[in-house]
Structure 1
């Protein structure tokens, strides 16, 4: 099965709320070598005006991944994980993610561009806080290889 071009325009259900934990932010910060004090030290973050530690910008991928799992699980997507490469990632922030945030994400497929036996799938995840305010828009492009004959 090839990638379903009728995915364009499809919006998936919002994810369950994700509570951003201080230790998750610290772990992620260490993993990506984000060693600025606001990422690991609540006192330093508060001194900068934040209520708790601040997640590095790429932390939004943790929440976006919940939406991409919905896409990969869609039986009519035509996307096989074993033929998928994460080709591009962009983030547009309204404000940083901080420990204590409760975030919800919703995925929409904005483009499916066939090429050869494969396709490039562009998806946009709108991530909002518990009050419904925009936090970050995460855009991913997945490169899906075609089936080998």
Structure 2
């Protein structure tokens, strides 16, 4: 099933605010094996000019993947989730994510393509702070592999 091109440029409602906690930052840093003290120690972060601990650059994946689900699971788009893989993600920061930030994500369908029979969806996420300031723009690309002969899955398949 091909992607519904009318989705190009569509903007989804912002997510509920996410409160960035020091413990969540530490847990994420532990999970990725990054021992940088600015992710754990407020004094180390302050020594580098930050008001508090900051999050690793990929921390926002916690928020963007959930927000992107609004698009990926929107059956009207025609994306077969049973075939989706995460192709890539880029972050463009205006400032680091800090403990006690209250962030929301606004998702826009930036590009819809078909490459070698594979559906490719590129999303642009605006991550904003409590006052509406832009903290980061993330670009995420998903690929839904082309149907294989004899595969019994149907479009829109969700685990």
TM-score (norm 1): 0.93
Q: Is the 8 A contact 1:7 1:109 kept in 2?
A: yes
Q: How far, CA to CA, are the matches of 1:116 and 1:109 in structure 2?
A: 21
Structure 1: unaligned runs, 5 residues or longer: none
Q: How far, CA to CA, are the matches of 2:73 and 2:142 in structure 1?
A: 15
| 1:140 aligned partner | 140
Corresponding residue SS for 1:113: strand
| 2:156 aligned partner | none
Moved over 6 A (4+): none
| 1:65 aligned partner | 65
Q: How far, CA to CA, are the matches of 1:20 and 1:90 in structure 2?
A: 20
Corresponding residue SS for 2:77: coil
Q: Is the 8 A contact 1:3 1:118 kept in 2?
A: no
Q: Is the 8 A contact 1:2 1:117 kept in 2?
A: no
| 1:113 aligned partner | 113
Which is higher, the Rg of structure 1 or of structure 2? 2
Q: Once superposed, what is the RMSD of the aligned Cα atoms?
A: 1.4
Q: How far, CA to CA, are the matches of 1:73 and 1:81 in structure 2?
A: 7
Q: How far, CA to CA, are the matches of 2:24 and 2:126 in structure 1?
A: 21
Structure 2: unaligned runs, 5 residues or longer: 150-159
Shift of 1:63: 1.4
User: Is 1:99 aligned with 2:99?
Assistant: yes
Q: How does 1:114-133 map to 2 (within 5 A)?
A: 114-133=114-133
Q: How far, CA to CA, are the matches of 1:124 and 1:28 in structure 2?
A: 23
| Count of residue pairs the alignment pairs up | 149
Is the deviation greater in 66-75 or in 24-33?
66-75
TM-score (norm 2): 0.87
Shift of 1:61: 1.1
Q: Is the 8 A contact 2:104 2:127 kept in 1?
A: yes
